Amino acid sequence: MNRILAYILKVVLLPLRLLGVLGRVLGILFRPVLMRIDSSQDLSNTINSLSSSMASQRGLPLIIGTVLLVLSLIVHGIVIVGLVATDSFDKNLYWLCIPFTILHAGVLAGFTGAMLAIPLGQSYRDQ
């Protein structure tokens, strides 16, 4: 019974092992590029300036996310009304991609703002 369970476990974990091997191979292949990116002074300066500017404007990504969500709601309403008015759902359903893209961008911006608000700490104006 234990051999059967061990065999089933090996079969179930095989994709994870293959991903691990693939990750190691890709790590070896891309090591020079990753080392170059890691030691880039320009990238470091960009990240530092972005971090310091975000520390003083912690709520900006949340506001951007909220605006995008409201815009997505408005565009959804316009697109749905337009689709119903033209009565051609099959040809024009791709128009729904625009509001869904705005929705996802808004949610992503909001989550990013929420995740950055605490690690960045108090803004310089709050102190």
pLDDT-based confidence at residue 58 (cuts at 50, 70, 90): confident
Nearest CA-CA partner of 97 in 67, 75, 112: 75
pLDDT computed for residue 122 by the predictor: 58
pLDDT-based confidence at residue 126 (cuts at 50, 70, 90): low
At 64-117, the pLDDT tens digits run 888 898 998 898 888 888 887 887 777 777 788 888 889 899 898 888 888 777
Alpha-carbon distance 65 to 76, whole Å?
16
Give pTM, 2 decimals.
Answer: 0.53
pLDDT computed for residue 121 by the predictor: 60
> Per-residue pLDDT averaged across 19-33, rounded?
85
pLDDT-based confidence at residue 119 (cuts at 50, 70, 90): low
- For the chain, which residues make up each domain, given as ranges? 1-39, 56-127
Alpha-carbon distance 113 to 105, whole Å?
12
